[in-house]
C-alpha cells in the first residue's frame, strides 16, 4: 500500500495530512467520513496512535471535491475519532498543498463534514480561514466542581462545540498542562450532562503578552490540549464576544495559546438577529515532515497501539 503523508504544524499543533489517493470515494464529505470510520479506521489509528503518531496529533485526508468549483474535501481525525472541523488543521492542509505545488495564492473553498469553508492563501504564506457560521448556544451555565469551586460556562459552536470558562480569578493558567487537563476533564464530564454535543473545553484568562487579547487552554476530545490557540475554539470565542457586544465586526482579536503561539481573528455578522457570525482566523503553518507509510506485517503495532481503556 502506497500512502504518503505530509506533517505540518500551525502554532505548534501538528497536522498529519494524507495526500495519496484513498479508496473512500463518492458522496458528501460526511458520507466519506462514515465510510472511513466503518471500513478504513486502521488508517487513522496507524497515523495517529503511537508508535507512529502521538495523542496531540490531528490527521487530515484530502479528497477530490464533490463540487468542481471547490478545491478539495477534507476529513479531520484525532486519537479519539473524527472531528467536524479543524481550524489549525485547515491552515496546515493549505500550507501542505502549497508546499507540494498543488495550490497557488488566492481563495480556495474546502468541503468539510460540517459545511464549506474558505481559505485564502496569501503571498507571504499566511492563511486566512473563513470558518463555518458560528454562534453561542447558551451563556452563564453554572458548573460546580467536586472541590466546591463554582465556574460559569458559555456553550458555543465554531465548527466544533465548546464550553468556554473564564478562569482568570484562579492560578490555573500558571500551572502545568497536566493540572489543566485534569480540571478541564472534570468540567467536560459536568458540561456533557446537559450539553452532550460539547467535546472541547476552553479555559481562558489574560494573555501573557501585552500585545494579545486573551490566552486560552483548549482540551481536545482525546484528552490532550491544543498547542495552537485552536481555530474552531477561537471562532467559538468570537461568537461569545460578538453576542455580548464586546468585539465589533472587523475588529482584530489576538488569541494566545497555552504555549504562546497566536492566531489573529475577526468576524462579520451573518445574521445579527440570531447572532450568527462568520469568523476569520489567520496564521501560518510550516511543513516539517514527508513520510511514506511502511506497514510491516510482522509488526504487532503496525496499525497503532489500541487506545488505552
Enumerate residues 6+ apart whose C-beta is below 8 A from 107: 118, 119, 120
Residues numbered 87-106 forming contacts with ligand PYC, rule: CB under 6 A: 87-88
* 226 scored as a contact of ligand PYC (CB under 6 A): yes
Q: Quick one: 109 or 302, whose CB is closer to ligand PYC?
A: 109
Neighbours of 300 (CB within 10 A): 8
* Count of residues that bind ligand PYC according to CB under 6 A: 11
Residues numbered 11-30 forming contacts with ligand PYC, rule: CB under 6 A: 13
Q: What are the DSSP calls for 106-156, one per residue?
A: EEEEEEETTEEEEEEE-TTS-EEEE-S-BEEEEEEEEEE-TTS-EEEEEEE
The least CB distance from residue 119 to ligand PYC, in Å, is: 13
The least CB distance from residue 27 to ligand PYC, in Å, is: 24
Length of the chain counted residue by residue: 309
Catalytic-residue membership of 230:
yes
Local structure of residue 172 (DSSP, 8 states): G
Among 5, 22, 117, 230, indicate the residue that binds ligand PYC (CB under 6 A). Answer: 230
Catalytic-residue membership of 113:
no
* 222 scored as a contact of ligand PYC (CB under 6 A): no
Enumerate residues 6+ apart whose C-beta is below 8 A from 102: none
* 231 scored as a contact of ligand PYC (CB under 6 A): yes
Residues numbered 156-175 forming contacts with ligand PYC, rule: CB under 6 A: none
Q: How far is CA 258 from the centre of its chain?
A: 15
Is the backbone peptide bond immediately before 14 cis, with ω within 30 degrees of 0? no
Among 5, 121, 220, 283, indicate the residue that binds ligand PYC (CB under 6 A). Answer: 220
Residues involved in catalysis: 86, 230
Residues interacting with ligand PYC, by CB under 6 A?
Answer: 13, 58, 86-88, 220, 226, 228, 230-232
Amino acid at each position: 500500500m502506497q500512502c504518503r503523508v505530509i506533517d505540518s504544524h500551525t502554532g505548534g499543533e501538528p497536522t498529519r495530512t494524507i495526500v495519496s489517493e484513498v479508496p473512500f470515494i463518492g458522496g458528501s464529505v460526511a458520507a466519506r467520513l462514515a465510510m472511513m470510520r466503518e471500513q478504513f479506521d486502521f488508517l487513522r489509528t496507524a497515523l495517529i496512535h503511537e508508535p507512529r503518531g502521538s495523542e496531540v496529533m490531528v490527521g487530515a485526508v484530502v479528497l477530490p471535491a464533490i463540487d468542481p468549483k471547490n478545491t478539495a474535501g477534507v476529513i479531520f481525525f484525532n486519537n479519539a475519532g473524527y472531528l467536524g472541523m479543524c481550524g489549525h488543521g485547515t491552515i496546515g492542509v493549505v500550507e501542505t498543498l502549497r508546499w507540494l505545488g498543488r495550490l497557488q495564492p488566492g481563495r480556495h473553498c474546502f468541503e468539510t463534514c460540517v459545511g464549506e469553508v474558505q481559505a485564502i492563501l496569501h503571498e507571504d504564506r499566511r492563511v486566512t480561514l473563513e470558518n463555518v457560521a458560528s454562534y453561542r448556544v447558551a451563556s452563564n451555565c453554572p458548573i460546580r466542581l467536586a472541590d466546591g469551586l463554582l465556574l460559569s460556562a458559555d456553550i458555543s459552536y465554531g465548527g466544533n462545540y465548546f464550553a468556554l470558562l473564564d478562569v482568570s480569578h484562579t492560578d490555573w493558567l500558571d500551572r502545568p498542562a497536566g493540572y489543566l487537563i485534569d480540571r478541564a476533564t472534570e468540567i467536560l464530564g459536568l458540561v456533557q450532562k446537559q450539553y452532550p454535543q460539547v467535546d472541547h473545553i476552553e479555559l481562558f484568562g489574560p494573555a501573557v503578552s501585552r500585545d494579545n487579547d486573551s490566552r486560552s487552554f483548549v482540551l481536545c476530545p482525546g484528552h490532550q490540549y491544543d498547542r495552537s490557540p485552536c481555530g474552531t475554539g477561537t471562532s467559538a470565542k468570537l461568537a461569545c464576544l460578538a453576542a455580548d457586544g464586546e468585539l465589533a465586526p472587523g475588529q482584530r482579536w489576538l488569541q494566545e495559546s497555552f504555549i504562546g503561539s497566536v492566531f489573529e481573528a475577526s468576524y462579520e455578522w451573518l445574521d445579527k438577529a440570531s447572532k450568527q457570525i462568520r469568523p476569520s482566523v489567520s496564521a501560518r503553518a510550516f511543513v516539517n515532515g514527508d513520510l511514506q507509510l511502511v506497514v510491516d506485517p510482522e509488526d504487532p503495532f503496525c496499525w497503532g497501539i489500541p487506545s488505552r481503556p
